[in-house]
Amino acid sequence: KAGVTQTPRYLIKTRGQQVTLSCSPISGHRSVSWYQQTPGQGLQFLFEYFSETQRNKGNFPGRFSGRQFSNSRSEMNVSTLELGDSALYLCASSFGTGYTEAFFGQGTRLTVV
Amino acid sequence: GQSLEQPSEVTAVEGAIVQINCTYQTSGFYGLSWYQQHDGGAPTFLSYNALDGLEETGRFSSFLSRSDSYGYLLLQELQMKDSASYFCAVREAKSGSARQLTFGSGTQLTVLP
């Protein structure tokens, strides 16, 4: 079956703009989590959605938001972009919020200039 | 709160055995996972320990001691393709029934010929 699909793969934005990233989880998976990855910082948890509801939220400013649709696809939005938002944004899907294995997409590489 | 600590870098030669340690501090612990990420790739699941002891999957083994808040990933018969970043991650309880997957900063493993 198809894996986790993230679009776009690469994105260049300027400071102050906003961006929307998309994640389509594995068919049948209802949990989608978002992570920000920067060199040396590992994967920083942004938020998790399950059945269209945000279940957890990491320590990121309110400029970072997300949502999940009825087909489990998820989007995350970053408003008023800052240079420090340049990172790889990874989406992970799992069957449920408590499942042990998460499947990651290839990520969206966001560069803010 | 939570935190995970793992070494930032480990180097070993082909055919050797290497152990990557991970210590964690968290409330509502449910389990410890390990993920592998090659440069430019997506993190992929390696193993999960919910109970104390050793789990073996081929050349890779993972160990957990909940009383010591400690685990490790053991890689045997190292191959060049094992050069990658390895992340430990805790599955921990957050609000309600939600269980968040929180990652460490990763260990860069370099396998030398």
pLDDT in tens, B55-88: 999 999 999 999 999 999 999 999 999 999 999 9
Residues of B in contact with A90 (CB under 8 A): 42-43
* Burial tier of B63 (Cβ tally within 10 Å: 0-12, 13-18, 19+): buried
Question: pLDDT category, B98, cuts 50, 70, 90?
Answer: low
Return the number of other C-beta atoms located less than 10 Å from residue A32's C-beta. 28
Asked if residue A95 has pLDDT above 80, the reply is yes
B50 touches chain A (CB under 8 A): yes
Comparing CB atoms, the residue among B31, B35, B98 nearest residue A97 is B98
Min Cα distance A34 → chain B (Å) is 10
For B53, half-sphere exposure in the C-beta direction (CA atoms, 13 angstrom radius) is 4
Sign of CA dihedral A13, A16, A67, B96: positive
pLDDT band at B1 (very low <50, low <70, confident <90, very high): very low
Q: Is A20 helix (H, G, I), strand (E, B) or coil?
A: strand
- B89 φψ region: left (φ > 0), alpha (ψ -120 to 50), beta (else): beta
Residue B100: list chain A partners with CB under 8 A: 33, 45, 48, 55-56
* Residue-wise pLDDT tens digits, A34-90: 999 998 778 999 999 999 999 888 999 999 999 999 999 999 999 999 999 999 999
* H or E segment and range at residue A22: strand A19-24
A98 and chain B in contact, CB less than 8 A: yes
Kindly give the pairing relationship between strand A74-78 and strand A64-68.
antiparallel
